[in-house]
Structure 1
Amino acid sequence: MAITFSDLHTEEGLKSVEEHLAGKTYISGDQLSVDDVKVYAAVSVKPSDAFPNASRWFDCVASHLAKSFPGKAVGVSIGGSAAAAPAQAEAPAAAAADDDDDMDLFGDETEEEKKAAEEREAAKKDTKKPKESGKSSVLMEVKPWDDETDMKKLEECVRAVEMPGLLWGASKLVPVGYGIKKLTIMLTIVDDLVSPDNLIEDYLTCEPNNEYIQSVDIVAFNKI
């Protein structure tokens, strides 16, 4: 889908570029493209610190273009009305598109350029929201040894297991037969932190909990 920017000589126009570059390094995709050159040509001056994303992007494009055009620049001002600025930008952008195959925008970087690129990547990561781990809802059946097992103590043993990413929920005792009852209990886990199998093998059915707990089965497992 085509991306449209307008009035890039105004703060409102730069704001649209700033928002578009949130969490990104380039206008389109993961590499510098003609789109970046086109927008760069339409921005009259480097964005201020009020637009940190656009400012970092502007420096990045300028750095790559400087390597492709090594001649000394003295600075050029383009006359005419501000409204005409985007139109004036079309000519150099079109020329850049024609010469795209001949331009080496990714030549050997200097140490300063590498450091600047690393800082931009670090800043990019800081602007991204951390990926939230998935969660699951689990229903377990906890079975005692016999009808003489203290089910209150059994449930206390289960709920006493604590670890990051584990939250015990509602429970109830369900008759099995011959006076024996089993405990059904809900729990919510953070998938990256808690493994139901490890929870059963390393905590619920080992000492000292195996004094009350004979076995544990997973009845239901649903992603939240």
Structure 2
Amino acid sequence: MAITFSNLHTEEGLKAVEEHLSGKTYISGDQLSVDDVKVYAAVLEKPGDGFPNVSKWYDTVASHLAKSFPGKAVGVKIGGCVSQSGAQKAEAPADADDDDAIDLFADETEDEKKAAEEREAAKKDTKKPKESGKSSVLLDVKPWDDETDMKKLEEAVRSVQMPGLYWGASKLVPVGYGIKKLTIMMTIEDDLVSVDNLIEDHLTSEPNNEYIQSVDIVAFNKI
């Protein structure tokens, strides 16, 4: 049931609202309602210090309206007239077109609902962690000589494990004079693995340099 007050432009009318708001934040309870907007529109200006409850309530409602319609006056349809909120509050002409009024409690249109859904979807997308780019790399791993155990050489290569590094297929390729090299594929996550560091700090350093003489990058392709 709507709550109404009369003569809100008079001291007597404001006293009634002052008493009603004693111990309350809003006209109809704990939440902003259409009653607050109607009474707010009927009060011509912010009451003075003689009406502390009304003054505090007036500021609260004005703040809500300003947040709902930032940077513009808010038209509230009251009895065929239009009242505007905040610093831009001004007396509307008596023959103001009702179509210009904004009903704060009207249902959202389909376009408004769609726009709200798109904004929410955009927020969720920005919160998703960005996936790291990946690359496919082909390496030539060369032994010291023809006496190097190539099985142990491959085991040494594959023993290198780190986040973002994935070893793939491999094969032995003859080089000459009985020497073979290991050709091996690997996939890396670019943000996590540096190929140069992998070669210098892991493949050609102790203890793997017992079997591995050198490592060359044959192919490097972004996935």
Give the TM-score normalised by the residue count of structure 1: 0.49
More helix by share: 1
Structure with larger Rg: 2
Greater relative contact order (Cα < 8 A, sep 6+): 1
Q: Name the TM-score, length of structure 2 as normaliser.
A: 0.49
